[in-house]
Structure 1
Amino acid sequence: MMSKRRVIRVATRPSLLAKRQTEQTVALLKSKNPEVDFEIKTFSTKGDLVLDRSLTQFGTTGLFVKELEMAMLNGEADIAVHSLKDVPSMTPTQFCLHAYPKREKAQDVLLTRHGEKLEDLKEGFVLGTGSPRRRVQIAQLRPDVIFKDIRGNIDTRIKKLHNGEYDAIILAAAGMNRLDIAFDINSVISLDDMVPAIGQGAIAIECLKNDDFSKDIVSSINDYDTEKAVLAERAFMREIEGGCKFPLAAHAIYEGDKLKMTALVGDGKSMKQIKHTVFLDILNTEKESIELAKVMKQECKDKDINYHLF
């Protein structure tokens, strides 16, 4: 018998980007489920409240997730909308990631004060980023770079760039697109030069595992291709045992009847890195991703690359 519920309360963070992507997700849900009403509720997370420290300095994962999960457990919300790259590799047993809408552009964008390309920036230029993944990869392209931490929303970061605090910053193209912030297509960093964060550009909708009504509703906007790609990336992340605190990256995309995945593991101290590209069988993507992670872990041991240091 169909539940009589007609309202789904949607938990999100208070940032402009989080609210915008939640509104876009809710619009998709509404288009597929016109009989259901959706109420967006905001909850501040630890990652939102502490802005004077780099994310790598926190001794825990799930900085942008746990408070939203607590809202569901406490009966204040029914589902939560997350940027998938913020979601830890292991989901608590009470919850499930049940839907992944079509993925946005996964690449990173390099913004500079005067429109320079990476190779044209002055020697010893200052790059604003707190991401170990971005630091290791940029250091391969420009060993003379000087890194400086940066926090805040996209607008804040762009203002800091133009105020002269940095010569360049790196932002995710997905976030800029969702906020309708224009950027030069030539500023997009190629996937060959910068492997994206695991899950970058993707949205995940989390539900309580026993909430069949919400699960049924959110599954209406699940994108199969996105799901296969991000589950492969996250299988790699679980096996490699790391997250955004460490120099790790993986990106999967369909090429014909295979899933092409590029994965990277780096050392935040030596800036050494290992990168592999493989083609995964569609029926065994997660299993083969795990095998790739095992190979790369052994290679890290052999080459004295410690990706748990930053």
Structure 2
Amino acid sequence: MPEKSKLVIGTRNSKLALVQAERVSKELSNIHPNIKFPWQDVSVRGDVDKTSPFLKFSGPSDAAKNIWTEEMESKLCSGELDLLVHCLKDMPTNLPDGCILGAIVHREDPTDALVVKNGVSYKSLAELPAGSVIGTSSTRRKALLKYKYPQLVVQECRGNLDTRLRKLDDPEGPFTAIIVATAGLNRINLSHRITKSLPASEFPYAIGQGALGIEIRADDESSMGVIRSIEDLPTRWICLAERSLLGTLQGGCSSPVAVNSVVESLSSEGLSLRLEGIIIHPYGSSQVSSTAVSTITSDADAEMLGKTLATQLEENGGQILLDEIRALQYGEMKSD
């Protein structure tokens, strides 16, 4: 198949998304100088509705994440766009017919970061006085905070990173601190705002957090060859294992499923990966956790590790907990 002269990249129109698209474009251009990689921003539903909590978008699978991808995927399928650059954590594990996850690239620090209001001296969640208000839009973060720090008050805080930081620093605003992805702050040169990176062993992160996913049309073999040139194989396997865990559990954007992936060794013989998973009740009333370890030498190995951990979680009480979460989400949807 002949090489194309131009591949148009689609991205959300936030500052972070544009920085990520530009990075992918530049790296692809360095390797493929005969191809142009312009990018086009697209307004998506998740950015338009900045007030509704994520439980509003919940469903029986991870289709909730379509609020970040659906409009771009429509343009991808029509041929208007050729590549979509997403934060991997925002990508559904089940993509629309005709679309595939072509490559996984550039995983930054996957942890969450505590950011306190300007002028506030507290350095950790444990130091915050009872009643302090923590802002986050993530159901996972809300659940972890309620489970581990029930003395704190958790409130919805939507918007891009700049918007959330403005809400945090507003002298009249309610927030003492917010929790956001470390990777996002690093990518837009705001790492100086990180008060404390939250250890993944204590505050596990979202599936795929910190990595970028490149989505393409399933029949576009030419683009597949181009984007795979910038992919790091261990990163791909780690993220595929995490996504397999989530997909098997059928946890969505609003399902409090968290993970900690630990590389125990990496050699020519493969990747030894310890995958730690946790399901938390949205109210912080209970949680189920488990760990699985495997040596990975292929995509299939990675996906099997995720499925194995999902089965362990379900057998350890996770299935009952997931059923409770789905019933809660269904009740929320009925009341809207």
What TM-score, normalized to structure 2?
0.87
Unmatched 5+ stretches in structure 2: 59-63, 266-270, 330-336
Structure-2 change in CA distance of 1:14 and 1:184 (3 Å)? closer
Give the share of equivalent positions with the same residue, in percent.
30
User: Per-residue deviation at 1:139?
Assistant: 2.3
Q: Does 1:20 align with 2:19?
A: yes
Contact 1:136–1:273 (CA under 8 A) maintained in structure 2: no
Out of 281, 288, 308, the position equivalent to 1:267 is 281
1:225-264 alignment to 2 at 5 Å?
225-256=234-265, 257-264=271-278
Out of 275, 282, 299, the position equivalent to 2:296 is 282
Contact 1:199–1:251 (CA under 8 A) maintained in structure 2: no
Contact 2:42–2:72 (CA under 8 A) maintained in structure 1: yes
Secondary structure of the corresponding residue to residue 67 of structure 2: coil
Q: Does 1:71 align with 2:85?
A: no
User: Per-residue deviation at 1:301?
Assistant: 5.6
Q: String of CA shifts for 1:190-238, please: whole Å, max 9, x gaps.
A: 0111111000000000110111221111111011011000000000011
Contact 1:136–1:272 (CA under 8 A) maintained in structure 2: no
User: Per-residue deviation at 1:246?
Assistant: 1.0
Out of 306, 309, 317, the position equivalent to 1:300 is 317
- The aligned counterpart of 1:131 is 138
Counterpart Cα distance in 1 of 2:42 and 2:69: 10
Secondary structure of the corresponding residue to residue 68 of structure 2: coil
Unmatched 5+ stretches in structure 1: none
- The aligned counterpart of 2:215 is 206
Contact 2:146–2:283 (CA under 8 A) maintained in structure 1: no
Counterpart Cα distance in 2 of 1:112 and 1:152: 17
Q: Does 1:162 align with 2:169?
A: yes
What TM-score, normalized to structure 1?
0.94
User: Per-residue deviation at 1:186?
Assistant: 5.6
Secondary structure of the corresponding residue to residue 209 of structure 2: coil
Contact 2:104–2:211 (CA under 8 A) maintained in structure 1: yes
- The aligned counterpart of 2:47 is 48
User: Per-residue deviation at 1:287?
Assistant: 1.2
User: Per-residue deviation at 1:269?
Assistant: 2.9
- Equivalent pairs, count: 309
User: Per-residue deviation at 1:303?
Assistant: 6.5
- The aligned counterpart of 2:148 is 141
The one-letter code of the counterpart of 1:32 is I
Counterpart Cα distance in 2 of 1:272 and 1:175: 29
User: Per-residue deviation at 1:109?
Assistant: 0.4
